[in-house]
């Protein structure tokens, strides 16, 4: 007869649990510093938007690099005039990231509703599409970068 020892599964260390959110924040910090140092307001300094080159219209992300550069300089108005969608999304993304980090820190699991995820994703895509269309019309030209 063999004896089997019941081994409890090892719980992940706190560092392993928070590694994802911390690495994401570190990557965003590095990208923000790069955008702060190399000014995207200079034409072509970060390349060209492929969508703008191919279609001649602004995509939802056009002006995003300039908006991040302006945010790193504390110029909220200038950032909003470059890409209002990105500036409006920053608080929501920061909240989501903070909640993710706190949940990982406390080792808690939130149930994920696939319906809710689908509705939020579809809502954001609809908002981005509406933003892209509006900024390319004469009445929404003020939304352009």
Tens of pLDDT, residues 55-95: 999 999 999 999 999 999 999 999 999 999 999 999 999 99
Burial class from Cβ neighbours inside 10 Å (0-12, 13-18, 19+) for residue 75 reads middle
Domain boundaries, the chain: 17-137
On whether the CB atoms of residues 107 and 11 are closer than 8 A, the answer is yes
pLDDT in tens, 3-20: 666 656 667 798 999 999
Average pLDDT over residues 36-42: 92
Average pLDDT over residues 96-119: 93
Q: Is 48 left (phi over 0), alpha (psi -120 to 50) or beta?
A: beta
pLDDT at 1 over 80: no
Structure letter (DSSP) for residue 56: S
User: What is the band of 47 on the pLDDT scale with cuts at 50, 70, 90?
Assistant: confident
């Amino acid at each position: 007869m063999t004896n089997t020892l019941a081994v409890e599964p090892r719980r992940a260390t706190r560092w392993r649990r928070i590694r994802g959110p911390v690495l994401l924040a570190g990557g965003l910090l590095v990208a923000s510093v790069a955008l702060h140092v190399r000014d995207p307001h200079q034409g072509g300094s970060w390349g060209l938007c492929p969508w703008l080159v191919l279609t001649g219209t602004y995509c939802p992300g056009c002006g995003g690099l300039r908006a991040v550069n302006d945010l790193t300089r504390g110029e909220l108005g200038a950032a909003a005039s470059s890409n209002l969608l990105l500036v409006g999304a920053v608080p929501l993304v920061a909240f989501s990231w903070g909640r993710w980090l706190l949940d990982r820190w406390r080792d808690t699991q939130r149930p994920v509703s696939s319906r809710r995820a689908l509705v939020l994703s579809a809502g954001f895509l609809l908002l981005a599409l509406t933003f892209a269309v509006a900024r390319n019309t004469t009445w929404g030209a003020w939304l352009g970068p």
